[in-house]
Structure 1
Amino acid sequence: MYKALIADDEEIIRSGLSRLLARDPDFEVAALAEDGEQALELAAERLPDLLLVDINMPFLNGLEFIERLEGVLRGAVIIVITGYDDFSYAQQALRLGVFDYLLKPVMEDAFYDAVGRAKQQLQTNRRQVKYLDWARMQLEKNRSSLVAAFLDGWLEGRYSEPEVAEQLGYLGISIPEPYGVTVAHLSVSEGKTMVGQEWDENLLYYAAENIARELFEPLGPVTSCKNASGDLVVLSSCLPAARWSATARELRELLEEHLPAQAVLSQVPGDRLAGLPEAYDDAMELLEQREKCPQAVLEARRYIEERYADPCLSLQGAADRLHLSPQHLSRLFRHETGVTFVDYLSRVRIRRAVELLADGELKMYEIAERVGYSSQHYFSSAFKKVLGVSPMEYRRGGAAR
């Protein structure tokens, strides 16, 4: 059964068309309208399949009605009704996608011929809508796999720019510019178990992905996938930079707190989509370097990155936490990173200070305190040693840029 709407400002025409259509058992006259505005309201409410529309109607003529109808109905068929003087309007209606037109006075043979062909078109439209809905359902059902396969190919550089643009549109993926690439490698902790759950690599990955997407959502839109190595790759905005970096630190903490795993992370920013594969390669290279680093050094770096704001942070404190002698940790740290523990701490503090200098409301002594310096003078001296300019000069230079 198909629903029909008849719109004509003449009651005699509406009644006549309604009687003719009632003879066809496949149609139900669901709505009668005497002007274009009423027709538009009834179309949105009743969702008819067939619309018989007079071109000359008050308030909103037939052509305006057809234009406004776009997006309201799916697969509907429109037949316009016109007088001889309106033939040019009928041609315009056909350009708007109208199925057919009937001349007034409407003859029965012409009417049933048009309605019969409209019925065939409606049957075709319903099949097409059904197949399209099924295809969309299948696409949504398998979207995560399709997205993962596409991202893996893109990150590995197997797609051209036009192919990337086509796939992004097809899969509905939005990558912000500038973007940030965050890669997390998870390894199961031998001595850590979670009550009531048997963990494997797949479950570990999906749990980590859920945590990551929730954390990075404020920096959205967020896209994630598993790469060929089983690592979690998260694409998001990298702005503001301080928040992006802090989100990665929080992710690592939550992964190790809630999952039976150890996590190693790397982050690399990028500004052009065409350069995403290169940014990803850089992130993977950085991740590999960090994975090769002895666990004691990783823990020491993590200790610094989490506690740099503590003015009492020291090599001795880190060594005590790791149950190592300061001398051993110092040698190990310098061998693996190429810098001393103290120099690394200074770089972390100054990097964070640079982020805070972008906030013109913060005073220098406030920034110094936030990054672990009890003295503004000492902060300025350390800043200049690392970057070659004082914090004030750096802020002025940033403002000038």
Structure 2
Amino acid sequence: MKKLKVLIVDDELPLRQELRMFPWEDCDAILIGEASNGEEALRICAEVCVPDVVITDITMPIMDGIALIRELKKRYPIVQIVLLTCHSEFQYAQEALRLGALEYILKAAIDDGELKQVLDKGRLAIKRERKSLDSEKAEKRQLQEALFGKLLHQQQLNNADWKAFELDGRSAYQLIRFIVDVPDTLYLTIKHRVQCLFSELEASHSDRLTWLSVRKQEYFVIFIVQDWDKEPVINTIEDVISRLNAMISGAERPHEYTHAVQAVISEPFAKGEELVHSIDGTTAWIEALFYDSLEGNKVHSGLPHPLNPITDTHVKEISEMLRKSAWSADSLLACLKTEFFNWCVIQRIQPVQLKQRILGWLVEWLKLQGDAELINPTITNLMAVRSLPQMMDSLITAIVKVESERSQSRSEIRSALQWIRDNLKQPLSLPIIAEQVGLSPQYVSRLFREETGVSVTQYITQLRMEKAMELLKQTNMKIYEIAEEVGIPSYRYFTVMFRNWTGVPPTDYKRNT
């Protein structure tokens, strides 16, 4: 154990001065304060430090020793209480011992040796009671976590179950939901330290606070609001968040996880059914933090800004943004980092729907690049993200990986791809392209499919149709002019090819865009 923290409570100054001179350090103890009555002692416990041992007089003004013992045992059950008494107060001393006091000492005959023995006795009692209390607390926490898990899954509790939460219906409570947003591997590294931090917080406010670990990377704290000003509560929560973030950033890749922890505070509640509403209120923030974690706030309360279901207009805008930028990896990455990112922040589409739509686009893009083996890990990574920046990181990682592998492909095929893009208006064929790169048509055909996943003809058709769609949308060129611009001088052939590619004739496509 650490040094015993001792608090002296007596209205007689000479006696306090005498005890002040006691060699506390020699007894592996430290004097943390003095009080002249019970109320002052309780204030020290609440505002300064909870002592291990309280040495108190019985007869005092404002609040006497008996009333103080009752309050201490109710608020701080492990605190050991030693009575200072006179011969005439023995009947009060017996009452105090019945209430849970550890020992009594006669004021007229305070002896250093006797006081040291009492402190040693207190140290043993604290160890014994702490072990018992820890076991009892662990069992209670386990039961509360199981019941809280039911509430999270919107299951009903019976009256007996509600009693486990010890909500008295008179006190005001609040629920704090801490979200630790890090990869599973990193979380497992720090999980024990995180739980120790919450246990430390609970020990500091044992009469007001309890914490539960119900879901992976989420912690729930229930605390009594009475007598707690809002500002100190927020300061306490922010301190916990700062310590958690420091713990996480110190474990691995500090530049990535310096703001990994967020907290949501519910509205005050008093009864069980109100706790259900508080859980629902904090749950509403889980999806909202996909966007709102971008802000500087670490602590959130009230209702978040609403999220929007994805619409056909949204789908069209997403497709248009990504299609326009898909000519090169650089333009695609720039779009994701700026235009698309900002669009997502403004639209606030429900995260699951947004991820599903982006996942569909990415799978098609990967297939087009000939990197189908990246599809499964990309799906796993993308669906696991919990914030917009993480989603962007996942997309950018996949694109960069494809481009990195592509940069290692045959230089002749890279030259062929660039030559096709630069000469799209000209007649193109496999023999012409093979001649440009100095290889046989058969060899170019095989390498081209290996590198891109499509044939030369399919690639040329895709580029021409995408270019035509862009010109139909953005210019007033006539259909035959667009056909010539994309290298298909036959108006009839262009119309048939465009209909096969898009499902509608060029005139209808232009009219509807």
- TM interval, shorter chain, is 0.3 to 0.5
Structure with the larger RCO, 1 or 2 (CA within 8 Å, 6+ apart): 1
Scaled by the length of structure 2, the TM-score of the pair is: 0.30
Scaled by the length of structure 1, the TM-score of the pair is: 0.37
